[in-house]
Amino acid sequence: TTKEIDSFLQSCERWKTRFIALNREQETKTQKAPTQQVQSVVRDLVTSVEMDTLRSDAENTHTRLEWSSWLQEDTASCLAKSSRERQETEAFEAMERQLMADRVVELETQLAQKRAVEREKEMELSSLREAQEDQVVSKQEVAALEDEKKRRTEELTQMKNKMEAVEAENATLKQKNKKLVEEGEEIKKLQRAFKARDAKMITVLKTEREKSSQRKQELQILHAKFSSSMDSVSEKAMRLEEVEQQLRDAQSDARAAETRQKELERQITSLQEENASLLAQLKAQNEALKRQQAEREHQSVGQPSSERTIDDESTLVAQLAEKEALQMFIRRYRSTAEDKCRQLMEKVNALESQRASTQAQTEESCTGEWGRSLESDVSRLRRQRQKELSYERRTKRELQTRESTLAGWERDCTQLQGTLVCLKARLVEELVLQERKEVQRVVGGLVDRVELSRTTEDLQEAQRDVTWLQTMDEEWHDYAATEEKQRRGVEELNAVERQLTTERVGKLTTQLETSQRRLHEEKAAAVELNNMCDLLKQEVTCQAQWLTGFSLNSMAMVNIQSQLSNRMQEQQAEQSKQLSQLEADKTELEEQLRVSQLNA
């Protein structure tokens, strides 16, 4: 039975160690679970932040594409207007050609009239010569006529030279007029385009101002949220301190319970040692009684009447030893031991009655010294029997008290185990709550940081857009001022051209040179605009390629997220299986402990 008790205690210790190991594994798993949840939440946050940044980049590229499309539309409209104006200029040139042809016809008619006048004069001269031949004319008249003829020929040559110069000037003036008309049309087109762009820029500036006001309101709201979150964080910190204090108290209670459990285990070991010492003492007493019985059996054979008493005493001693040995197992086998003790008590009573009868017979039969010695032996045996009975009662009382103390200690141990389990459960719950709160705090801080970073990025982008728009507005104003100046200069040139078409050719040449310089500048500006359009087209193509790459990356991110979700589901399924297995092991342990307690 001691072996069974030792094996039962060893099995209890093994189950206890196994239960502690399982609790530790469960605690480690529960400790790892929030970290894994935090990692998954952080991954989700990082992916969401990346997706938000990519969305913002896509929106920016979309706005840039819209701007580039607007610029392309403006350039297309400008090109269409330039083509229409070119057609108008061609029609105007055709009209000018027709006017020039009419002017040439008029000049030719004038020349024909002058030639007719010259012919008439020549006819008059010929007639005069004939008249001179007919009539004798003086030499002075002839000389005067020749001088007049020379003068008239010189005048004709001068008139021809003047006509050629006038025709050359007319051709140059026509070319200059064409250039000036083209410049005026281009200036008008540019003014219209600038007006349209100014209107668009004004609308864009209004929208940007509205957006900036909305962003300021959002920033105020975010600042209020941040202040409220900081207040909640301080409250959470206070709550965490309270929870930590409760944890310290619970840990101190757990340490006190562990010390109490260790003291109870020491007391149990001391009781087991006392039981072992009592068993050893009883075994020694049994061996001493057996030796006494053997010595009595080896006494002299000259005492026939005492043999029966010695046999009775030996049987009594054996029965008492058996009774004492059986009483050692009363703690664990009370029901069977009580039946057996009852039977033994009946046997003892029967033997005592037999002994009383034998004593009466010996008192009647035996007299003298042998009878006195027998009486003294019987009285000594009675005293020894009374001592043994008193010792047996005392041992029974001690065993009962020890059993009651052991039962109380076992109850205390079970209560302590229950309290320890409750404290462990409370500690685990508080740790889980604390970890969840820490996770929520960390996640809230991350979300606040992400929101602040996003708001700062949005503000920086808005500031950059505002600065860019301001620079563009300044450039447009400068360009409009230059164009206005050019328009005024062109108007002045037109006025000067109208005023000085006949008198100030030199001034027109200087003004034409200045207009040519300005035309070169305008052509350079047009070349720059074309280059800017080409660069915008290249940016549009690059952004389209980037959008295609981004779409591919987003598809890859979606696939990765699906894989991560599948892995998380698999891990959760494995954790649920492990938890179910642990619960099954726990129920089996509880059933085994219940069965062991029932057997005890």
- Split at pLDDT 50, 70, 90, the class of 303 is very low
The verdict on 444 and 417 lying in the same domain is no
CA angle centred on 43, ends 39 and 44, rounded to 5°:
120
Domain extent, residue 63, equals 2-257+435-599
Give the residue from 429, 453, 479 where a domain finishes. 429
> pLDDT value at position 309?
47
The 10s digit of each residue's pLDDT in 403-440 is 676 566 667 656 666 666 666 667 667 666 766 676 66
- Extract the tokens encoding 497: 């051209």
| Residue the block writes with tokens 């209670």 | 253
Is residue 263 assigned to a domain? no
Contacts of 309-313 with C-beta under 8 Å, sequence gap 24+, read 309/355, 309/358, 309/359, 309/362, 309/374, 309/377, 309/378, 312/351, 312/354, 312/355, 312/358, 313/381
DSSP readout, 62-131?
A: HHHHHHHHHHHHHHHHHHHHHHHHHHHHHHHHHHHHHHHHHHHHHHHHHHHHHHHHHHHHHHHHHHHHHH
Is residue 83 assigned to a domain? yes
> pLDDT value at position 101?
75
- Extract the tokens encoding 14: 């093994």
The verdict on 442 and 405 lying in the same domain is no
Give the residue from 377, 409, 429 where a domain finishes. 429
Between the CA of residue 592 and those of 23, 166, 268, 277, what are the distances in Å?
Answer: 18, 131, 22, 31
Taking Cα atoms as reference points, which of 24, 12, 17, 18 lies closest to residue 594? Answer: 12
- Extract the tokens encoding 116: 């007719």
The 10s digit of each residue's pLDDT in 117-141 is 777 777 876 776 676 565 544 556 6
The verdict on 370 and 458 lying in the same domain is no
| CA pair distance 466, 452, nearest whole angstrom | 20
> pLDDT value at position 188?
74
The b/e string for 242-253 (b: 16+ C-beta within 10 A; e otherwise) is: ebeeebeeeeee
Torsion of CA 228, 229, 231, 236, to 10 degrees: 150
For range 184-190, the mean pLDDT? 73
Length of the chain, please? 600
Between the CA of residue 179 and those of 16, 175, 184, what are the distances in Å?
Answer: 108, 6, 9
| Residue the block writes with tokens 């109208």 | 498
Is residue 528 assigned to a domain? yes
Between the CA of residue 201 and those of 49, 302, 470, 535, what are the distances in Å?
Answer: 32, 146, 10, 21
Taking Cα atoms as reference points, which of 468, 453, 447, 451 lies closest to residue 60? Answer: 468
> pLDDT value at position 300?
41
The verdict on 402 and 443 lying in the same domain is no
The verdict on 441 and 416 lying in the same domain is no
- Extract the tokens encoding 411: 């109850």
Q: Which H or E run includes 305?
A: helix 304-327
Instruction: Assess whether pLDDT exceeds 50 at residue 366.
Output: no
The answer to which of 37-51, 174-188, 308-322 has the lowest mean pLDDT is 308-322
The 10s digit of each residue's pLDDT in 32-63 is 777 777 777 777 877 777 788 888 887 887 88
For range 235-243, the mean pLDDT? 63
Q: Which one has a higher pLDDT value, 17 or 213? A: 17
The 10s digit of each residue's pLDDT in 58-70 is 788 788 778 877 8
Is residue 262 assigned to a domain? no
The verdict on 164 and 246 lying in the same domain is yes
The verdict on 131 and 230 lying in the same domain is yes
The verdict on 212 and 338 lying in the same domain is no
> First and final CA of the chain: distance in angstroms?
12
Q: What share of the chain is helix, strand, coil (3-state, %, to 5)?
A: 95, 0, 5
Percent over 90 (pLDDT), the chain: 0
| CA pair distance 194, 476, nearest whole angstrom | 8
Contact (Cβ atoms closer than 8 angstroms) between residue 295 and residue 309: no
The verdict on 472 and 570 lying in the same domain is yes
- Split at pLDDT 50, 70, 90, the class of 233 is low
- Extract the tokens encoding 173: 């003036």
- Which letter does DSSP use for residue 183 in this model? H
Three-state SS at 265: helix
Is residue 101 assigned to a domain? yes
Give the burial class of 355: count Cβ atoms within 10 A of its Cβ; 0-12 exposed, 13-18 middle, 19 or more buried: buried
Between the CA of residue 535 and those of 109, 474, 518, 530, what are the distances in Å?
Answer: 59, 22, 25, 9
**What is the distance of C-alpha 63 from the center of its chain?**
27
| CA pair distance 147, 568, nearest whole angstrom | 123
The 10s digit of each residue's pLDDT in 504-525 is 555 655 655 665 576 566 566 6
Percent over 70 (pLDDT), the chain: 37
Contact (Cβ atoms closer than 8 angstroms) between residue 291 and residue 457: no
Neighbour count for residue 364 (Cβ, 10 Å) = 9
Contacts of 120-127 with C-beta under 8 Å, sequence gap 24+, read 121/152, 125/149
Within 13 Å, how many C-alpha atoms sit on residue 87's CB side?
Answer: 5
| Residue the block writes with tokens 């604390």 | 434
The verdict on 11 and 135 lying in the same domain is yes
Neighbour count for residue 508 (Cβ, 10 Å) = 20
The verdict on 224 and 80 lying in the same domain is yes
Neighbour count for residue 511 (Cβ, 10 Å) = 19
Contact (Cβ atoms closer than 8 angstroms) between residue 351 and residue 315: yes
The answer to which of 104-118, 158-172, 548-562 has the lowest mean pLDDT is 548-562
- Which letter does DSSP use for residue 328 in this model? T
Is residue 298 assigned to a domain? yes
Is residue 346 assigned to a domain? yes
Instruction: Assess whether pLDDT exceeds 70 at residue 448.
Output: no
The verdict on 421 and 443 lying in the same domain is no
| CA pair distance 396, 338, nearest whole angstrom | 13
Domain count, the chain: 2
> pLDDT value at position 137?
45
Give the residue from 429, 451, 466 where a domain finishes. 429
| CA pair distance 465, 450, nearest whole angstrom | 22
- For residue 184, which amino acid is it? G
**What is the distance of C-alpha 84 from the center of its chain?**
58
